[in-house]
Amino acid sequence: MKSEIKDESLAQAGLARILWADRDMPVLASIRERFEREKPLKGVRIGACLHVTTETANLMRTLATGGAEVHLCASNPLSTQDDTAASLVKDFGIDVHAIKGEDTETYYHHVDAIIDTKPQITMDDGADVVSRIHESRTDILSGIIGGTEETTTGVVRLRAMAAQNALRYPIIAVNEAKTKHFFDNRYGTGQSSLDGVIRLTNRLLAGRTMVISGYGWCGKGLAKRASGMGCNVIICEVDAVAALEAHMDGFRVMPCAEAAREADIWITVTGDLNVIDEPAYNNMKDGAIICNSGHFNSEINIPWLRENSVKHEQLKPMVEEFTLQDGRTIILLAEGRLVNLSGAEGHPANVMDMSFANQALCAEYMVQHASEMKSDCYDVPEEIDDSIARVKLQTLGVSIDTLTPEQEKYLNSWDMGTE
């Protein structure tokens, strides 16, 4: 199949960036070394729908080194790095279908191109491939042995499918590994979302009020980093425990319509729908900047903005200004799509090292165990999670203690109490 990318002549710049990221992905590199010797994925066709970034490129290299035939499309129309895509095709012989800025029709055309390769393993970020196969390409289901899913929103969709008995093959929820969401969602989204806002606006964060919707793994990471940059952080939540945690972590917590009166910059990371909507728009300050770092571009009600604006202007790439009837302006970044991947380069390699080590090892696990698994959404096996944490610590030069036999016995007993 012929790759569909922006421009193969961008490959040199892409290669340099892929190798730069690889320097900070030692766990994945160690898996690649083993895969080179053992070829655990020999002859397995993998259809991946992931953000086409330098870190993903290193995962694709690893899977191909393990013997897999890899086909890749983007999991978001704006997150593709065209030079990375070019290098994957030219330097590593990987089939890629992704162009930054592709419209929705082209996006799904590229997803379909991956499905047409009849993958035996699907590797999703947001469950678009899985849902498309279940909705309209059930003809290829018999050839699929299993899949993996990268993000919270994808796992939510898969669990809904499993609960309705709609899921037709086993999928490992990579997001649920501790070595994934503790680090990628928290530190990765925390840093890269601010990076996206800064690159697109170059606004000073210090002294500004930042509203964050969602105090889950991503929101916690974002709030801490924004606070460290001098922002006055306000959290909006719907979950009482998460709201309480935000309050005790020292942040102000309030409903979004109230927070709107204070927001200079607003980032949504909920995985939910229409989180910024009319009640918030009605109260927003003139010039407020809004953006999203949750998976889909559904967290900000953009149709409302379009319908209720008297003027719309593209100020610069990925920065749009909407003027409301009363004259207030609202600035929308990156079309409401993932601001960290659209406006910046996504998560730093050092956290993707663990997320993608999970992907590579789960693909290997699928090859070995799919026949014993049911059509369900599975957590990452604990031994995989633990082994990644151990190798990561080694690469960081951090040593830890080991339980003594006496401690092990004690921790597994119930008969020793107050002495």
Chain positions contacting ligand NAD, by CB under 6 A: 151-153, 181, 185, 189, 213-219, 236-239, 242, 269-272, 275, 293-295, 338, 340-341, 347
Amino acid at 69: E
104: amino acid identity, one letter: T
Q: Give the nearer residue to ligand NAD in terms of CB position, either 114 or 269.
A: 269
Query: Which CB, 71 or 347, lies closer to ligand NAD?
Result: 347
- Which lies closer to ligand NAD via its Cβ, residue 66 or residue 196? 196
Between 245 and 321, whose beta carbon lies closer to ligand NAD?
A: 245
The C-alpha atoms of residue 305 and residue 324 are separated, in whole angstroms, by 8
Closer Cβ to ligand NAD, 22 or 124, answer by number: 124
- CA 332 – CA 304 distance, rounded (Å): 13
Q: What value, to the nearest 5°, has the Cα angle with vertex 284 and ends 283 and 287?
A: 155
Distance of alpha carbon 72 from alpha carbon 403, whole angstroms: 43
> Nearest approach, Cβ of 241 to ligand NAD (angstroms)?
8
Q: Starting from the edge strand earliest in sequence, which strands make up the sheet with 252-253, in order? A: 252-253, 232-236, 209-213, 265-268, 288-292, 329-333, 319-324, 309-316
Q: Rank residues 11 and 212 by Cβ distance to ligand NAD and give the closer one.
A: 212
Cβ distance to ligand NAD smaller for residue 238 or 319: 238
> Residue written as tokens 């083993």?
34
Q: How far is the CB of 222 from ligand NAD (least distance, A)?
A: 9
| CA-CA-CA-CA torsion sign (122, 126, 131, 133) | negative
Residue closer to ligand NAD (CB basis): 25 or 367: 25
Rounded Cα gap, residues 383 and 369, in angstroms: 14
| CB proximity list for 69: less than 8 A, separation 6 or greater | 43, 44, 45, 46, 117
Write down the least CB distance from residue 78 to ligand NAD, Å. 12
Q: Which is nearer to ligand NAD, 120 or 179 (CB)?
A: 179
Residue 14 or 294 having the CB closest to ligand NAD: 294
| Cα separation values, 330 from 126, 285, 333, 337, Å | 28, 8, 10, 16
Q: How far is the CB of 334 from ligand NAD (least distance, A)?
A: 11
Which tokens sit at 161? 């499918």
CB of 36 to ligand NAD, least distance (A): 29
CB of 275 to ligand NAD, least distance (A): 4
User: Rounded distance, CA 20 to CA 50, Å?
Assistant: 19
Smallest distance from the beta carbon of 369 to ligand NAD, in angstroms? Answer: 26
CB of 152 to ligand NAD, least distance (A): 4
Q: Tell the smallest beta-carbon distance from residue 268 to ligand NAD (Å).
A: 8
Q: Which is nearer to ligand NAD, 170 or 214 (CB)?
A: 214
176 close to 150: Cβ distance less than 8 angstroms: no
Minimum CB separation of residue 409 from ligand NAD in Å reads 36
State the nearest-atom distance from the C-beta of 229 to ligand NAD, in Å: 18
Please give the sequence-ordered ranges of beta strands (E in DSSP) within 204-351, or none if there are none: 209-213, 232-236, 252-253, 265-268, 288-292, 309-316, 319-324, 329-333
Number of C-alpha atoms within 13 angstroms, CB side, residue 356?
Answer: 33
Residues 377 and 159: beta-carbon distance below 8 Å? yes
Q: Which residue is nearest to ligand NAD (CB)?
A: 216
Distance CA 179, CA 247 (A): 26
Q: What are phi and psi of 254, to 5 degrees?
A: -160, 165
